[in-house]
Amino acid sequence: MTVPGDRLARILRLLASDDGTVATTGLCAVCAEATEMSGAGIMLMSGDLSQGSVCTTDKVSALIEELQYTLGQGPCIDAYHGERPVAEPALDDPAQPRWPAFTPPVVAAGARAVFGFPLSVGAVRLGALNLYRDRPGPLTADQHADALVMADVAARVVIDAQAKAPPGSIATNLEAGANFQFVVHQAAGMIAVQLGVSVTEALIRLRAHAFADERRLPDVAAEVVDGRLRFDNDDDGQAGH
């Protein structure tokens, strides 16, 4: 097994830009390369709310991130809330089924194993790193250790980048290749006002409406923001036009 110092040095070499600094571009690609996975994604969260993905490596990892964001379930969500790594090495035939809405489309897209690792620095929780592989099987001890180091490095890269951004804004170099779904957060705020509930509750109702209609969460959110869909039009609090 690689010793911790050598492991960190190898990962930092993979991340280093031409001027020797750690680059945020290609962060997810390095996550996948360092751990020998098929792909990777990084999800940022704040409290109970997902902010969206910083980066993804391919169509499958992008789908994994979008489904987790839309459904509120998956390895990143569990890793973030549980503050521990989450592994599903046999996604198409799990020992204990979980993520009922998330799993079928991810398996159909070609993923056979998924792993989530929380991003945190001290007491500050930022989100989670998602890794997927196109064949089943657990991580080796080296891969697991590499993923832990990669999650720590990624968390520090995000914090360092964000520290340079104006208050209330996302760092420019984090937005490149990101999918932060700002329209969803705007819609959740509007629904919270319409129903007199918390933003977290509003997001749950927005997700439920999108899931029931089998539509993408951003598309439903856009209708709310445009005023074409309201959630306070009937007595039971369900959405109506």
Angle, CA 146 vertex, CA 140 and CA 149 arms, to 5°? 145
**Choice between 211 and 104, residue whose per-residue pLDDT is larger:** 104
pLDDT digit string, tens, across residues 26-61? 789 999 999 999 999 999 887 766 777 888 999 999
Q: Kind and range of the H or E element at 161?
A: helix 141-163
Give the model's pLDDT for residue 207.
Answer: 83
Do 182-225 and 4-175 have the same topology in CATH?
A: no
Task: Name which CATH class applies to 4-175.
Answer: alpha beta
Q: Where are the domains of the chain?
A: 4-175, 182-225
Number of CB atoms found within 10 A of residue 103's CB: 20
C-alpha 220/C-alpha 183 separation (Å) is 10
Residues 6+ apart with CB under 8 A from 87: 75, 113, 114, 115, 116, 138, 139
**CATH (residue range 182-225):** 1.10.10
User: Could you tell me the pLDDT band of residue 159, with boundaries at 50, 70 and 90?
Assistant: confident
Give the model's pLDDT for residue 4.
Answer: 60
Give the pLDDT mean for 179-204. Answer: 83
Give the model's pLDDT for residue 1.
Answer: 44
Q: Is the pLDDT of residue 107 over 50?
A: yes
Q: Is the pLDDT of residue 168 over 50?
A: yes
User: Could you tell me the pLDDT band of residue 236, with boundaries at 50, 70 and 90?
Assistant: very low
Q: Is the pLDDT of residue 20 over 80?
A: no
Q: What is the chain's mean pLDDT, rounded?
A: 84
Give the pLDDT mean for 212-220. Answer: 85
pLDDT digit string, tens, across residues 81-102? 999 999 999 999 999 999 999 9
Give the model's pLDDT for residue 235.
Answer: 44
pTM: 0.77
- Do the Cβ atoms of 55 and 39 come closer than 8 Å? no
Q: Is the pLDDT of residue 119 over 50?
A: yes
Give the model's pLDDT for residue 71.
Answer: 85
In degrees and rounded to multiples of 5, residue 92 shows phi and psi of -85, -10
Give the model's pLDDT for residue 23.
Answer: 53
Q: Is the pLDDT of residue 164 over 80?
A: no
